[in-house]
Amino acid sequence: MTHQLESIPPIDYQQLIETIYHETKHLAQLGKVADYIPALARVNPDLFGLSVVTQEGKLHYAGDHEVPFSIQSVSKLFTFTLAFSHLGSSIWNRLDREPSGTSFNSLIQLEYEHGIPRNPFINAGAIVVADLLLDLCKDPLESLLSFIQELSGNNQVNYNEDVAESERLTGHRNFALAHFMKSFRNIHNPVEKVLDIYFHQCAIEMNTDSLAQSVSFLVHNGINPLNGKTVLNPSQAKRLKALMLTTGLYNESGDFAFRVGMPAKSGVGGGIVALIPDVLSIAGFSPALNEKGNSIACIEAMERFTTYSGKSIF
Ligand code: GLU
């Protein structure tokens, strides 16, 4: 007797994200927009966008996918990638690569760990990366912006100066973190200059279409599919995805890996970007956050995405 393999129909990602969008949109009501930075407190909490870019480069979207938002800590992914591509493993002289288990702007661990941040995706780690970029690039803000524009294929991506200024005026914890690390000699440049990079990177704006596209290089093992350029070598790309899985959602990284099963990075602007190597990347934006500072609707949407599609990294 012969068994015929039934061919499995390809997943209709457009239909899938539209379904998930409608199922999860109401969840924004359960969260709270970040209000510790005045410019973020003014964002409409009802916005919700989802975008998927497949390995073949096809874009699918639902909701407010064209509305630019403040990517905040998602920018830590790009600054780290830029510094890592220049420095390779010597970057680990200044940073660790362990989950922190503490909130994104915590000072506590830095004291016992002699000013070495637990990972590049908490604020302390990103501030060290900003310090590295000052040494690596002649004009770090210019280099960072063109790097992100190339990855996203969108030359409209830009800094929002009002948000950057709002961050500076209220960034007391970030000043504290930078000065504290400087006392351990883990910040080399003047604190004001380092934080100018940090506050600006947080104030980068883009929509979910561009954000999903901007991590396609990790779907393609380190190569930007838009221009064929190597962004990271395969070993570096592997390490970055491992860091995203273990540290990308602050002290909710374990729960996100458990529920969703994708390497990801979140920001308090309400954005989350995630990916499945060789398959696709997905970005979501919904500004209402849970108490860990992550978007409630985006997490639920991504959990449904991997559950319904049967695709994750596990
Ligand atoms: N600009 C924010 C801060 O430094 C970034 C926080 C985030 O998205 O985690 O407080």
270 CB under 6 A from ligand 1?
no
What is the pLDDT, as a whole number, of residue 3?
Answer: 57
Mean pLDDT, range 217-242, rounded to an integer:
98
| Set 25, 76, 182, 265: catalytic member | 76
- d(CA 278, ligand 1 centre) in Å: 30
pLDDT digits (tens, 9 = 90+) for 148-190: 999 999 999 999 999 999 999 999 999 999 999 999 999 999 9
- Is 235 considered catalytic here? no
The closest-lying atom of ligand 1 relative to the alpha carbon of residue 167 is 1
| Set 231, 268, 273, 295: catalytic member | 268
64 CB under 6 A from ligand 1?
no
What is the pLDDT, as a whole number, of residue 294?
Answer: 96
| Set 73, 106, 281, 286: catalytic member | 73
**Measured distance CA(273)–CA(57) in Å, rounded:** 16
268 CB under 6 A from ligand 1?
yes
Domain ranges of the chain: 13-309
3-state secondary structure of 150: helix
pLDDT: which is higher, 101 or 187: 187
125 CB under 6 A from ligand 1?
no
Task: Tally Cβ neighbours within 10 Å of residue 168.
Answer: 18
72 CB under 6 A from ligand 1?
yes
- d(CA 33, ligand 1 centre) in Å: 13
Tokens 């920018």 map to which residue? 75
DSSP bridge pairs for 297: none
- d(CA 293, ligand 1 centre) in Å: 9
Question: Which are the contacts of 246, defined by CB distance < 8 A and separation ≥ 6?
Answer: 98, 99, 119, 253, 257
- d(CA 310, ligand 1 centre) in Å: 32
**Measured distance CA(95)–CA(46) in Å, rounded:** 37
Mutate to test the pocket of ligand 1, among 129, 162, 167 (most ligand atoms within 8 A of CB): 167
- Is 159 considered catalytic here? no
DSSP bridge pairs for 295: 289
What is the pLDDT, as a whole number, of residue 208?
Answer: 98
- d(CA 14, ligand 1 centre) in Å: 31
174 CB under 6 A from ligand 1?
yes
- Is 268 considered catalytic here? yes
52 touches 21 (CB < 8 A): no
- d(CA 12, ligand 1 centre) in Å: 35
- Is 308 considered catalytic here? no
Instruction: Please report which residue ranges of 232-292 form alpha helices under DSSP H.
Output: 234-247, 253-259
Domain covering 13-309 in this structure, CATH number: 3.40.710.10
Mean pLDDT, range 133-157, rounded to an integer:
98
What phi-psi label fits residue 250: left (phi over 0), alpha (psi between -120 and 50 degrees) or beta?
A: left
The closest-lying atom of ligand 1 relative to the alpha carbon of residue 203 is 1
Distance of CA 132 to the CA centre of its chain: 19
pLDDT at 7 over 90: no
Mean pLDDT, range 246-251, rounded to an integer:
94
- Is 138 considered catalytic here? no
Instruction: Please report which residue ranges of the chain form alpha helices under DSSP H.
Output: 13-24, 38-41, 75-87, 108-112, 123-136, 140-152, 161-170, 172-183, 191-202, 208-214, 216-219, 234-247, 253-259, 296-309
Mean pLDDT, range 203-219, rounded to an integer:
98
Q: Which of 28-32, 224-228, 262-266 has the lowest mean pLDDT?
A: 28-32
Q: Which two tokens stand for residue 14?
A: 């457009």
- d(CA 267, ligand 1 centre) in Å: 7
Percentage of the chain exceeding pLDDT 70: 98
Model confidence band, residue 8 (pLDDT cutoffs 50, 70, 90)? confident
